[in-house]
Amino acid sequence: MVDGARSGSPARFAAPELLRGLDPEAVGSLLAATADVTFVLDGGGTILDAAIAEADLAGSMGSEWIGKRLVDTVTIESRAKIEELIRDSSPRLSARGRQVNHPSARGADIPIRYRALRFGEDGRIVAVGRDLRQMAALQQRLVEAQQEMEREYTRIRNAEKRYRLLYQLASEAVLILDSGTARIVEANPAAAILLGVEPKKLAGRDFEDLFADSSRQTTRSFLAATRVAPRVDRVHAQLGHDHGDVLMTGSSYRQDGVAHLVVLLSRLGDASLAASADDANILRLVEAIPEALVVVAEDGRIMTANAAFLDLVQATTVVQARGESIERWIGRPGVDIDVLFSNLRAHGSVRIFSTVARGELGTVEDVEIVAASAVGGATPIYGLAIRATGWRGGRERLGGRELPRTVEQFTELVGRVPMKNLVRETTDLIERLCIEAALELTRENRASAAEMLGLSRQAFYVKLRRYGLADGGDGDGQER
């Protein structure tokens, strides 16, 4: 062959006359074997004959082709491409293909890329097509993965902003140390004020150099304990240069494989003042955090909430929400909040409690709640952090197939449908998904799929017929 592939055009034989001895049947067999879809058309585009290589593709595209116009077998947006394909066809196979979509009775459209060749005195056309479903599936998975990465990146960036804001606004001095060298990596503005040094000049200094000689041994012991203990609280030490006495609190963490220490310094004589300033800063932070936060009394009535909660429930002011039952906006009445509060009373905290939020204007949104209880006076109070799940809520997926019911839909059926019916429906669903996944992994090899699932062949075939998956008969289903 000539190297036509290098120039982007179809490769052609140097001596095509050598193929003149091929009879029509041989040419037809060759086309059917090398292309996924082959159509023979008359000059006007009507299908005279068709050959589809794979049974699965034929089942998706249908079987009644003869006598139809090719343009009538594609989706509406692809009709113009078929008309161009027929109009531009010539005795030489066109280098440019047209990607069109055929509607499928099984669901999603089937993408096929066609090229055409006109032959014979009567102007007949051969259209050869390549199945692009696998490529389309890969492209879709790539898009979904990219979107997931973007959502995760946004979530991490938002969390970083929140913690950075907390770090900068905290009235307590915070120092980040390298665990190995005990040198300061970063310091917040409060630490710079306490030590009388600019934050940038603190970076790189030895932590022990901040303290008077009389407290050096105490500081070394504090650092050693912080490296091995989850938390070390309220160790007294004296700062150098007459900066006064402080209480040190420390903990350790790892980032990018490197151990760090977080040290909080509180001036010993100003503990109550620092506490009140901290409280004010915390209140400002709670108001600024983009996630919905609400404090609820033991009887379920709202004590206070931040602006994000008001946005979630579409309330105008916190005065409108204060004193109202949390059930007015969060959870299904009489069910979710009772379950949440009973878990808080039993365990003190709850992580990832899924429910719904209802807005004043009628909107309903899936949310997740993280909650904790604390003693406020004689009775406990509950703090709820509520996050809209948005793109993650709604439908759960298994193996790329959508479940016909969500967990919430199943829960809503409790009391209206016998439990054995719900269990049977769920069991049937899981069995069918497992069988389909096993067939897909073994490329329709039923013997291997039965072995993978731990079933005998007879039991496997019974389940195939039960779920309408036995289209290929009861054979062993060897690989195609």
Confidence band, pLDDT 50/70/90 cuts, at residue 374: confident
Which one is predicted more confidently, 27 or 350? 350
With a cut of 60, say whether residue 275 has pLDDT above it. no
Domain count, the chain: 4
Q: What is the pLDDT of residues 198-229, one digit of tens each?
A: 777 888 899 998 898 888 888 888 898 888 88
Q: What is the CATH number of the domain that holds 342?
A: 3.30.450.20
Residue 13 lies in a domain: no
Average the pLDDT over 24-34 and give the result: 63
Q: What is the mean pLDDT of residues 371-377?
A: 75
Same domain, 418 and 367: no
Higher-pLDDT residue of 297 and 417 is: 297
Residues 298 and 387 in one domain: yes
| Inter-residue contact 54 to 32 (CB < 8 Å) | no
327 shares its domain with 414: no
Tokens of 160: 């970083």
Instruction: Judge if pTM exceeds 0.85.
Output: no
Indicate if the pLDDT at residue 21 is higher than 80: no
* Domain-located, residue 11: no
Window from 99-103, 343-347, 469-473 with minimum mean pLDDT:
469-473
Q: Which of 228-232, 285-289, 387-391, 398-402 has the highest mean pLDDT?
A: 228-232
Whether 256 contacts 146, CB under 8 Å? no
Give the domain extent around 224: 170-279
Q: Judge if 410 and 442 occupy the same domain.
A: yes
Verify that 127 and 34 share a domain, yes or no. Answer: yes
Q: Render the burial of 163-200: b for 16+ CB within 10 Å, e for the rest.
A: eeebbeebbbbbbbbebeebebbebbbbbbebbebebe
83, 103, 131 - which closes a domain: 131
Q: What band does 417 get if pLDDT is binned at 50, 70 and 90?
A: low
Per-residue pLDDT at 443: 80
Predicted confidence at residue 329, as pLDDT, reads: 92
pLDDT of residue 7: 43
